[in-house]
């Protein structure tokens, strides 16, 4: 068994895999992550390998006091990936985006792929059918947009995500919901349409914490999988073991 750990900007995700089958998943806060991790290892004693990817606040030495019988592997820029990185600034490319690209290549060979990760930020990553990583885009996610409207204005309230009743909001709250949710939906559809116009033989993968919320609002046909990063992390580990 393998335990995959995704250390994000807001939460830490733990996923136990038996080969390529997801057995268990937890989303935990930073404040008690070590306790939850040790409980997970206690509940799944067959886990002998941990693979970690981080864009968050934990350093590698935070894992130094775990059971020495469990090997910890960190995915970083030195890890072998199944694509050619053609980003003009490869050292600045986030490890989460590289793992998503790896998963797209390993799960969907010989296709043009657009991976959309709807989390704290929304990232777009394009990998062509010849396994060249070409780049993408980064924009604020749902929570960041709500918070920015509240934090950088004098009177707009801080709202939680909610599907707008209609495109034209008839109150301040409904106007905010329309601007944030419809704005993001139209942005994502716009990126998809632009890529579909330029490429055929194409698959669009939507993942991240807001994937299921957004999937039903999009006009384009997508493959929605909120666990795609964790699955890709597992597959990247397996790829490097071969």
Instruction: Report which of residues 199 and 38 the model is more confident about.
Output: 38
What distance in Å separates the CA atoms of residue 149 and residue 156, rounded to the nearest whole number?
7
**Superfamily the domain 2-74 falls into:** ATPase, nucleotide binding domain (3.30.420.40)
- Whole-angstrom CA distances from 169 to 141, 156, 175, 190, 208 are 20, 14, 4, 22, 27
Tell me the per-residue pLDDT of 128-169, one tens digit each, with 9 for 90 and over. 999 999 999 999 999 999 999 999 999 999 999 999 989 999
* Res 197: pLDDT: 75
What distance in Å separates the CA atoms of residue 131 and residue 43, rounded to the nearest whole number?
38
DSSP, res 131 = S
Q: Using an 8 Å Cβ cutoff, are 103 and 228 in contact?
A: yes
Tell me the per-residue pLDDT of 99-139, one tens digit each, with 9 for 90 and over. 999 999 999 999 999 999 999 999 999 999 999 999 999 99
Are 2-74 and 84-234 in the same CATH fold?
Answer: yes
* Res 16: pLDDT: 97
- For residue 169, give both structure tokens: 């909001």
CB-CB neighbours of 201 under 10 Å: 10
Q: For residue 39, with 0-12 CB atoms within 10 Å meaning exposed, 13-18 middle and 19 or more buried, which class applies? A: middle
Domain ranges of the chain: 2-74, 84-234
- For residue 36, give both structure tokens: 């939850």
Active site residue 6: no
Among 162, 3, 169, which Cα is nearest to 70's? 3
Query: Locate tokens 């995700």: which residue?
Result: 13
DSSP-assigned beta bridge partners for residue 71: 49
Q: Using an 8 Å Cβ cutoff, are 94 and 55 in contact?
A: yes
Catalytic residue selected from 96, 117, 125, 131: 96
- For residue 204, give both structure tokens: 């669009």
What distance in Å separates the CA atoms of residue 3 and residue 16, rounded to the nearest whole number?
4
User: Which CATH number applies to 84-234?
Assistant: 3.30.420.40
> Does residue 198 have a pLDDT over 90?
no
Phi, psi of 221, deg, nearest 5: -75, 125
Tell me the per-residue pLDDT of 68-88, one tens digit each, with 9 for 90 and over. 889 999 999 899 999 999 999
């Amino acid at each position: 068994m393998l335990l995959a750990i995704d250390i994000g900007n807001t939460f830490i995700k733990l996923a136990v895999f038996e080969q390529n089958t997801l057995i268990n998943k937890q989303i935990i806060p930073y404040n008690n992550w070590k306790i939850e991790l040790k409980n997970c290892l206690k509940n799944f004693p067959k886990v002998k390998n941990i693979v970690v990817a981080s864009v968050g606040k934990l350093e590698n030495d935070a894992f130094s006091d775990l059971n020495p019988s469990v090997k910890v592997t960190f995915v970083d820029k030195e890890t072998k990936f199944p694509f050619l990185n053609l980003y003009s600034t490869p050292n600045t490319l986030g490890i989460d985006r590289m793992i998503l690209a790896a998963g797209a290549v390993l799960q969907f060979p010989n296709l043009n792929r657009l991976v959309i990760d709807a989390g704290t930020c929304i990232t777009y990553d394009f990998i062509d059918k010849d396994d060249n990583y070409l780049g993408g885009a980064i924009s604020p996610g749902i929570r960041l947009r709500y918070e920015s409207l509240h934090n950088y204005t004098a009177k707009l309230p801080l709202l939680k995500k909610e599907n707008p009743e209609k495109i034209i909001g008839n109150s301040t709250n409904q106007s905010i919901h329309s601007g944030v949710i419809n704005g993001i939906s139209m942005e994502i559809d716009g990126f998809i349409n632009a890529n579909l116009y330029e490429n055929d033989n194409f698959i669009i993968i939507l993942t991240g914490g807001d994937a299921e919320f957004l999937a039903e609002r999009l006009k384009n046909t997508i493959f929605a999988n909120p666990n795609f990063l964790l699955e890709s992390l597992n597959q990247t580990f397996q790829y490097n073991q071969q």
